[in-house]
């Protein structure tokens, strides 16, 4: 063996000794860094090596279970989105087939209550001259709406969260005390003509961090249908 090989071998032994000493001083190292175990190649002979191999198997099994859980979550999310898409498609088709404004309102309320199974929902229309008999929707003056829910009307996107008592009362009437959280979107086609709000008894159900894609989509459909029928 050459002097270079001898020096290299001695250096490796020193490095291995330092690694071994570190692992003895830090026995929980592999608990904190399970990814290292996945990259080790250990012989399953006897002694302590067996426990490391078993630990590797445990880590890989846990990773496998984690990946399965992620896959199951993705599949469940896909199924939920498929159901949501089907409900939205039915609502859009029923709205498009409605012959008048009352038919649009009936289709919307039936879908929200029966198909989506929303706890509380409300459609307010602000357009002057609109008949006041469009129940269960409500017709109110735009000035009154600006005084009561002006903050909601000033945003051009759907919002989610907890509203003030007077805002809840304006949107949901005698059901306001039961509403804990709200998702609401203004209806606008050149000018604001209404607001669509849905609510839940749980104050944490509708949160500012949640997505509002489908509510915004429904609002876009109403933005294009309702003005032609007013």
Place of tokens 């904190």: 32
Question: What is the topology classification, in CATH, of domain 100-229?
Answer: Beta-Lactamase (3.30.450)
Residue 15 has pLDDT above 60, yes or no: yes
Domain ranges, ordered by start, for the chain: 100-229
Q: In the prediction, which pLDDT does 79 show? A: 86
Instruction: Tell me the pTM.
Output: 0.67
Phi/psi of residue 43, each to 5°?
-85, 135
Task: Give the helix ranges, DSSP H, for the chain.
Answer: 3-25, 29-32, 34-39, 48-97, 101-110, 142-153, 165-172, 213-229
Instruction: For 89-135, write each residue's pLDDT tens digit.
Output: 999 999 999 989 999 999 999 999 999 999 999 999 987 655 556 88
Greater confidence (12 vs 209) lies with: 12
């Amino acid at each position: 063996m050459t002097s270079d090989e001898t020096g290299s071998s001695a250096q490796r032994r020193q490095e291995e000794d330092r690694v071994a000493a570190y692992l003895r001083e830090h026995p929980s190292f592999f608990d904190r860094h399970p990814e290292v175990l996945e990259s080790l190649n250990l012989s399953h002979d006897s002694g302590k090596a067996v426990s490391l191999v078993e630990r590797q198997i445990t880590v890989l099994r846990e990773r496998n279970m984690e990946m399965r859980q992620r896959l199951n979550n993705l599949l469940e999310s896909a199924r939920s989105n498929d159901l949501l898409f089907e409900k939205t498609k039915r609502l859009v088709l029923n709205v498009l087939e409605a012959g008048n404004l009352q038919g649009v309102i009936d289709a919307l309320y039936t879908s929200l209550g029966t198909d989506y199974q929303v706890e509380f929902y409300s459609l307010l229309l602000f357009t002057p001259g609109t008949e006041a008999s469009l129940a269960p929707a409500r017709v109110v003056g735009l000035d009154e709406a600006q005084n009561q829910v002006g903050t909601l009307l000033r945003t051009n996107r759907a919002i989610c969260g907890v509203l003030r008592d007077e805002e809840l009362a304006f949107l949901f009437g005698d059901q306001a005390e039961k509403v804990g959280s709200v998702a609401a979107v203004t209806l606008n086609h050149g000018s604001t003509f209404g607001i669509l709000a849905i609510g839940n008894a749980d104050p944490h159900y509708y949160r500012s961090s949640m997505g509002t894609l489908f509510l915004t989509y429904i609002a876009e459909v109403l933005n294009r249908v309702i003005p032609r029928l007013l």
